[in-house]
Structure 1
Amino acid sequence: MTTKPQSTEVLRYTAFSSDPAGGNPAGVVLDASGLDDANMLAIAADLGYSESAFLSDPPAELADGHGRAFTIRYFSPKAEVPFCGHATVATAIALAELGGPGDFAFATSVGTVPVTVASVDGVLRATLTSIEPRIEEASADDVREALAALDWPAEDLDPALPPRIAFAGARHLVLAAATRSRLADLQYDFARLEALMHRLDLTTVQLAWRESDSVFHVRAPFPVGGVVEDPATGAAAAAFGAYARELGVVAAETELTLHQGVDMGRPGVLTVTLREGDPRVRVSGTGARIPDAG
């Protein structure tokens, strides 16, 4: 059996909430240099959070140009994940608590992700900047299969927000509900949705309901990670911002508020910022250390 080295400290932080009982919890290992893949997967599985983040030294080209740069890897309880927004936010806030706010750079498997942490009214707030996103068509057959797994009738979708696959570091199928009650009712076929997601190389399914021009409520089934639902999903929020801009349902330069985790009892708030002339998406949120049990 693989065990983690005794010297490895595993921190627990929540992201997208200043309340440890809200947002999305993540494990954070600030020095994973002595860990192999099996060690990291074992730690993530033991914690049981949707993802955990593991830091090591940055590649030389990043270290030379940035004072606080790291390589970061992400593991769910079942597998490595290419990019995770909430674990990035949690890690940046953990680093800022140790060394002060400022700019960080994380070398991920999909590219470099810069993060700025600032103190706002005494609360640390992190803003990550995604890699350049892209939007793809979702085939009618794949959408039908997703709806069947979710047990959602097609008429419960919002025709103004058509299905798409959105990527900003990880792939997400975006499905928009026509009503808040449809979004709230999430009882799905875990194995069936997991199989579809593996086939399409999806990290989550991003379910959304539009409350107003700039406010959305979202949920993110995550069976491929071994959990039913992700409470607050930074990678999906970045992808969703790109999706909304691509479809022209929001302005090219705007700020969106995404509420997630409410239906799970772990409310969190993600701020998505789009800038005209910059295809990248910024996702911001607070975070908090989760006290050790006992």
Structure 2
Amino acid sequence: MQISIFTVDAFTNCPFSGNPAAVCLLESELNEDLHQNIAAEMNLSETAFIRKLNPSDSFSKSSCFGLRWFTPTNEVPLCGHATLASAAVLFQIKENSNSVLTFKTLSGDLYARQAGDHIVLDMPLYPTTAEDSQQVKELVKTALGDIRTQDIRYAPATKKLLVRLSDIYERSVLEKLKVDPQAVLLAEKTGKVKGLIITLKRSVSEKAGKYDFYCRYFAPWNGIPEDPVTGSAYTVLGSYWSEQLGKTEMFARQCSQRGGDLRISVRGDGRVDIAGQVVIVLKGNLTI
């Protein structure tokens, strides 16, 4: 059995930066356990599986597909960068001519369209609620040490904890932060956190800076020590920072070692547009 597979660096215009995702095109149904086995073999933060919804569908002509995402250890309900990568494979490799692609996922329908040299994802927007700092005190202390926080929020729909660093800090503090993912995993006692967002507002000294805010993301609960660029995190960050900054159009930087840029457009219908660039770095076939 041969499966077409691609590696795509998402949220970047330079190879070997951004967030790499594997994308598999499934011509027919795949045995359930093979999804996880392939994702473990690829050993990237996410492997995406695009499947035809009907036997007569075409990757070049159809506009609606099924989409699932797997980390090396488990399936996840939402992934942004692997959705961006999936759309890139269909638009750029399969030359799909539809103006909008629809993906049927565990998080409902997601949409992708081309906009110049970017691909725009239409995704749900998830609000946050204030979090009792005492409940997550050990987790935050383990992740940040003595670094001061300004706000702590929780997004129940995504099980992501958002920790905002104090506005006194520069971007370099976030970039240099050393987080031990395994220690964070052990320090989470509530059982409700599956992802840790650490975010920071652009400092006053960056008046001419192009970014509105920065973040890093850790998900050892899903086998991902640090995710290089995390589209799903911005379904939460978009909601939070739009409220904090009073803006609906924002530009963000994820400050991992690989790094990536995202354009965020918060809409009034409970959705958010997340745009990024992609580089396809590998084309091949899996033999099973």
TM-score greater than 0.5 by the shorter chain = yes
CA contact (8 A) 2:45 2:224 kept: yes
Which residue matches 1:63? none
For 2:223, the aligned partner's letter is G
Q: Could you say what secondary structure the match of 1:273 adopts? A: strand
Which residue matches 2:49? 54
Alignment partners' CA distance in 1, 2:276 and 2:261 = 7
Per the TM alignment, residue 54 of structure 1 is displaced from its structure 2 partner at its CA by 0.5
Which residue matches 1:12? 7
Which residue matches 1:258? 252
What per-residue deviation string (whole Å, max 9, x for no partner) do you get for residues 63-106 of structure 1? xxx94111111000111010000000010011001224521001
Which residue matches 2:26? 31
Higher relative contact order (CA 8 A, sep 6+): 2
For 2:67, the aligned partner's letter is I
Alignment partners' CA distance in 1, 2:25 and 2:175 = 36
Of the candidates 172, 175, 184, which is equivalent to residue 184 of structure 1? 175
Which residue matches 1:273? 265
CA contact (8 A) 2:6 2:282 kept: no
Per the TM alignment, residue 198 of structure 1 is displaced from its structure 2 partner at its CA by 8.3
Q: Could you say what secondary structure the match of 2:121 adopts? A: strand
What per-residue deviation string (whole Å, max 9, x for no partner) do you get for residues 12-44 of structure 1? 101101212111000101216332332111111
| Matches for 1:77-116 after TM superposition, within 5 Å | 77-97=72-92, 98-100=94-96, 102-116=99-113
Of the candidates 130, 134, 152, which is equivalent to residue 163 of structure 1? 152
Alignment partners' CA distance in 2, 1:46 and 1:145 = 34
Of the candidates 215, 220, 223, which is equivalent to residue 223 of structure 1? 220
| Matches for 1:64-79 after TM superposition, within 5 Å | 67-79=62-74
In structure 2, relative to structure 1, the CA distance for the partners of 1:198 and 1:233 (3 Å cut) is farther
Structure 1 residue 287 corresponds to structure 2 residue 278: yes
Which residue matches 2:145? 152
What per-residue deviation string (whole Å, max 9, x for no partner) do you get for residues 219-266 of structure 1? 111212323211111000121001223xx3122x521111114x41x1
In structure 2, relative to structure 1, the CA distance for the partners of 1:224 and 1:99 (3 Å cut) is same
CA contact (8 A) 2:133 2:152 kept: no
Which residue matches 1:242? 239
Per the TM alignment, residue 150 of structure 1 is displaced from its structure 2 partner at its CA by 0.8
Which residue matches 1:129? 122
CA contact (8 A) 2:5 2:283 kept: no
Structure 2 unaligned regions, length at least 5: 55-60
Alignment partners' CA distance in 2, 1:292 and 1:115 = 21
CA contact (8 A) 1:198 1:224 kept: no
Q: Could you say what secondary structure the match of 1:93 adopts? A: helix
Q: Could you say what secondary structure the match of 2:174 adopts? A: helix
Structure 1 unaligned regions, length at least 5: 1-5, 60-65
CA contact (8 A) 1:78 1:224 kept: no
What per-residue deviation string (whole Å, max 9, x for no partner) do you get for residues 171-210 of structure 1? 32111123234312333343342242881142x2111111
For 1:165, the aligned partner's letter is Y
CA contact (8 A) 1:171 1:201 kept: yes
Alignment partners' CA distance in 2, 1:23 and 1:274 = 22
Structure 1 residue 140 corresponds to structure 2 residue 128: no
For 1:272, the aligned partner's letter is I
Q: Which runs of 4+ in 1 moved over 6 A?
A: none
Over the matched positions of the two proteins, sequence identity in percent amounts to 27
Superposition CA RMSD, Å: 2.6
Q: Could you say what secondary structure the match of 2:34 adopts? A: helix
Alignment partners' CA distance in 1, 2:241 and 2:28 = 39
For 2:20, the aligned partner's letter is P
Alignment partners' CA distance in 2, 1:133 and 1:218 = 17
